């Protein structure tokens, strides 16, 4: 276990170094990348630009700028170019919305995927299976910005059943928090639920033909016990590990479209607006934060996987 933790920690470090260097370099080579021009504003004189360049250190060698930025990030003093506010406090502000979205939506799509997968696998190629297959394909191919916009228009703008976007912290009002999250949860879950139900269905149909399922029946177990204890239990293992990584993607700010459509002011939306402004510090922080989130949750998933399937060894 110690070896596993140490290895994952080193892995996280390597990922951080590569992700930060790569992100930093991208903004050195893209056109219009000079942040001094944007900081100075539209009517700046060359004198002002030169002053800003000196003050922010944009004239220093690239590697010095990189280490300066990294130092500021790890001491918590890094500020954005565009608004010159502390990036870490911005991330802290965005985290509750993103976490609410990730936790709620991932639970929803997991349960939804399991339910539809089970219904489909009961009678493969039966009418229920065909209807759900059509639903899944549609759900997977519907872009989030279409589904989200239509839902907002119909259920928020036209009928006022739900608030028209925005985020209310749980601590402020639990019911308002819930009402504001329902549509984002649904929107983000829809394609994932379609995908998960197909994956779970095929896992179930594969497991049903395993010989240990035949043994379970030969033992005289009840149908319920065979299905839940042997078929579902074994089919869930790969789904759960997939789920962990998808969850990590959303908590790391990956649900950019959903956060933006519903104006949740989460980390994904912050990333999107920073990219539009070519604002390097927040982008670097978000990339590194996402990388750490994926590595940590990946490690948790691996531990869970080893607990669920004794054949998996953590140190192998």
Partner 1 sequence: MSGEHLLEVEDLRVSFATEDGVVRAVDGVSFYLDAGEALAVVGESGSGKSAMSMTLMGLTRDTNATFNGQVYFEGTELIGASESTLRHIRGAKIAMIFQDPMSALNPVYRVGEQIAEQIRAHERISRRRAGERAIELMTRVGIPQAAERARAYPHEFSGGMRQRVMIAMAFSCSPRVLIADEPTTALDVTVQAQILGEMRELCEESGVALILVTHDFGIVASVAERALVMYAGQIVEQATVEELFEDPQHPYTWGLLGSVPRLDRPRSERLPTIGGSTPSLLNPVRSCRFAPRCPHAFGRCEEVPPLAFEVPGQHEHRDRCWLSVDDKRALRVVDGSIGLAAASGQSF
**Residues at the site binding partner 1, with contacts judged by CB under 8 A:** 210-212, 214-223, 225, 229-230, 233-234, 237, 308-311
Q: How far is the CB of 126 from partner 1 (least distance, A)?
A: 10
Nearer to partner 1, 92 or 219 (CB): 219
79 CB-side CA count, 13 A: 7
Nearer to partner 1, 166 or 229 (CB): 229
Nearer to partner 1, 54 or 122 (CB): 122
Nearer to partner 1, 29 or 218 (CB): 218
Nearer to partner 1, 165 or 244 (CB): 244
Q: How far is the CB of 75 from partner 1 (least distance, A)?
A: 47
Q: How far is the CB of 139 from partner 1 (least distance, A)?
A: 29
Query: Distance between CA atoms of 162 and 173, rounded to whole angstroms?
Result: 15
Please count the residues of the chain: 316
Q: How far is the CB of 311 from partner 1 (least distance, A)?
A: 5
Nearer to partner 1, 216 or 314 (CB): 216
Query: Distance between CA atoms of 10 and 6, rounded to whole angstroms?
Result: 6
Nearer to partner 1, 54 or 219 (CB): 219
Q: How far is the CB of 297 from partner 1 (least distance, A)?
A: 22
Residue by residue, DSSP assigns the chain as -HHHHHHHHHHHHHHHHHHHHHHHHHHHHSTT--HHHHHH-TT--HHHHHHHHHHHTTTS-HHHHHHHHHHHHHHT--B-TTT--BHHHHHHHHHHHHHHHHHHHHHHHHHHHHHHHHHHHHSTTSHHHHHHHHHHHHHHHS-HHHHHHHHIIIIIIIT-SS-SS----TTT-HHHHHHHHHHHHHHHHHHHHHHHHHHHHHHHHHHHTSHHHHHHHHTT--HHHIIIIIIIHHHHHHHHHHHHHHHHHIIIII-HHHHHHTT---HHHHHHHHHHTT-HHHHHHHHHHHHHHHHHHHHHHHHHHHHH-TT--TT-
Write out the two tokens for 124.
Answer: 């493969």
Nearer to partner 1, 49 or 208 (CB): 208
Q: How far is the CB of 241 from partner 1 (least distance, A)?
A: 14
Of 19, 32, 31, 30, residue with least CA distance to 66: 19
Q: How far is the CB of 13 from partner 1 (least distance, A)?
A: 33
Q: How far is the CB of 222 from partner 1 (least distance, A)?
A: 6
Nearer to partner 1, 231 or 295 (CB): 231
- Cβ-based neighbour number of residue 311 at 10 Å: 6
Q: How far is the CB of 299 from partner 1 (least distance, A)?
A: 21
């Amino acid at each position: 276990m110690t070896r596993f933790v140490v290895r994952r920690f080193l892995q996280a470090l390597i990922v951080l170094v590569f992700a930060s260097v790569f992100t930093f370099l991208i903004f050195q080579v893209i056109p219009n990348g000079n942040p001094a021009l944007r900081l100075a504003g539209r009517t700046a004189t060359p004198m002002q630009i030169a002053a800003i360049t000196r003050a922010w250190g944009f004239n220093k060698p690239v590697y010095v700028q990189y280490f300066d930025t990294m130092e500021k990030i790890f001491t918590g003093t890094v500020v954005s170019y565009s608004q010159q506010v502390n990036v870490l406090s911005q991330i802290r502000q965005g985290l509750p919305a993103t976490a609410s979205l990730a936790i709620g939506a991932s639970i929803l799509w997991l349960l939804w995927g399991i339910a539809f997968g089970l219904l489909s696998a009961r009678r493969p190629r039966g009418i229920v299976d065909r209807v759900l297959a059509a639903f899944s394909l549609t759900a997977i191919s519907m872009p989030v910005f279409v589904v989200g916009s239509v839902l907002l228009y119909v259920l928020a703008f036209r009928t006022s059943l739900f608030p028209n976007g925005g985020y209310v912290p749980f601590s402020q009002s639990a019911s308002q928090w819930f009402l504001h999250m329902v549509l984002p949860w649904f929107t983000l879950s829809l394609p994932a639920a379609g995908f998960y139900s197909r994956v779970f269905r095929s896992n179930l149909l594969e497991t049903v033909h395993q010989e240990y399922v035949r043994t379970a029946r030969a033992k005289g177990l009840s149908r319920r016990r065979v299905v839940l204890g042997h078929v579902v239990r074994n089919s869930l293992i790969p789904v759960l590990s997939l789920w962990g990584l998808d969850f990590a993607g959303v908590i790391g700010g990956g649900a950019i479209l959903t956060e933006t459509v519903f104006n949740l002011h989460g980390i994904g939306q912050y990333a999107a607006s920073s990219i539009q402004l070519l604002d390097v510090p927040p982008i670097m922080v978000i990339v590194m934060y996402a990388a750490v989130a994926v590595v940590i949750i990946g490690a948790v998933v691996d531990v869970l996987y080893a607990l669920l399937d004794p054949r998996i060894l953590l140190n192998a």
